[in-house]
């Protein structure tokens, strides 16, 4: 009953009220972000969402506050993450304030408050069919993996938690528990980065680093991800 009829309505109501209450903070961060980062304060990126009737993940544009600058080196390439992530970026990441614009995605129906955290398209293509069952439900702003280690657990463990969320049955009380524990995590600013790294390693890079795939398979999957993103860009035009 909850998953089928009430979850979406509750998501919409909570997201709408939160956006109204937090609108002053959103406005301040938009202005400060534009000044500090010298440009658009928002970060918009395609992410795989819930599977459609054709059984394929529907791609949507996730909205967040941008935490890194677009600083480039002499060769025109973006500088490493640690050089582009300043005090402002570290602050909004550690406090999860960068996630606030994603409330708009919840209003639109791209996201739920709770569910498997939406990963990158280039992460999705490396997932097994079993791991991609995480996309049988709407992705969430937070989820079981986020309250059980977030970035300080392996990718495989993340997916185990995502599937556990689905397999155990989605209820109001399970979602409430996730939300309350998420608030505690945010207040403690825990599990932001993996082992002190600036940002989490992509799933394909992690598999390659662990020797679970070879360079040929890695390249094939990355090309597949590029094709999905190209099709998405064309559909938007």
**DSSP one-letter string for 92-131:** HHHTTGGGTTHHHHHHHTS-EEESSPP--HHHHTTS-TTG
pLDDT (tens digit per residue) in 180-218: 999 998 888 765 554 444 446 899 999 999 999 999 999
Average pLDDT for the chain: 91
- Quote the domain boundaries for residue 38: 2-236
Distance CA 198, CA 143 (A): 21
pTM recorded for the entire structure: 0.89
Q: Which of 151, 131, 119, 145 is nearest to 49 (CA)?
A: 119
Tokens at residue 135, please? 């996309």
Residue 30: CB atoms within 10 Å = 15
pLDDT of residue 220: 96
Distance CA 87, CA 221 (A): 35
Torsions phi, psi for 37 (to 5 deg): -95, 0
Residue 38: CB atoms within 10 Å = 11
Q: Is the dihedral of CA 36, 19, 90, 160 positive or negative?
A: negative
Tally of structural domains, the chain = 1
Interval 93-121 mean pLDDT: 95
Interval 128-146 mean pLDDT: 96
72 confidence band (pLDDT: 50, 70, 90): confident
The torsion of the CA quartet 149, 88, 72, 80, rounded to 10 degrees, works out to -30
Interval 89-114 mean pLDDT: 95
Distance CA 234, CA 226 (A): 12
Residues with Cβ within 8 Å of 74's Cβ and at least 6 positions away in sequence, in order, are none
pLDDT (tens digit per residue) in 165-183: 999 999 999 999 999 999 9
């Amino acid at each position: 009953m909850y998953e089928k009829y009430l979850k979406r309505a509750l998501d919409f109501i909570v997201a709408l009220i939160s956006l109204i209450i937090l609108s002053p903070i959103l406005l301040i961060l938009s202005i400060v972000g534009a000044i500090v980062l010298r440009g658009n304060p928002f970060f918009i990126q395609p992410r795989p969402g819930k599977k459609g009737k054709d059984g394929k993940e529907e791609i949507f544009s996730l909205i967040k506050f941008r935490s890194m600058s677009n600083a480039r080196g002499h060769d025109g390439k973006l500088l490493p993450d640690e050089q582009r992530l300043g005090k402002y970026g570290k602050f909004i990441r550690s406090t999860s304030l960068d996630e606030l614009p994603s409330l708009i995605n919840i209003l639109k129906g791209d996201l739920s408050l709770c569910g498997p955290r939406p990963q990158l398209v280039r992460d999705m293509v490396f997932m097994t069919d079993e791991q991609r069952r995480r996309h049988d439900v709407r992705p969430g702003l937070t989820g079981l993996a986020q309250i059980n280690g977030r970035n300080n657990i392996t990718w495989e463990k993340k997916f185990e938690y995502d599937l556990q969320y689905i397999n155990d049955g989605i209820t109001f009380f399970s979602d409430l528990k996730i939300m309350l524990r998420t608030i505690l995590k945010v207040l403690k600013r825990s599990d932001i980065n993996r082992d002190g790294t600036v940002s989490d390693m992509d799933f394909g890079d992690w598999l390659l680093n662990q020797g679970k795939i070879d360079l040929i398979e890695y390249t094939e999957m990355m090309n597949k991800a590029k094709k999905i993103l190209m099709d998405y860009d064309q559909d938007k035009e």
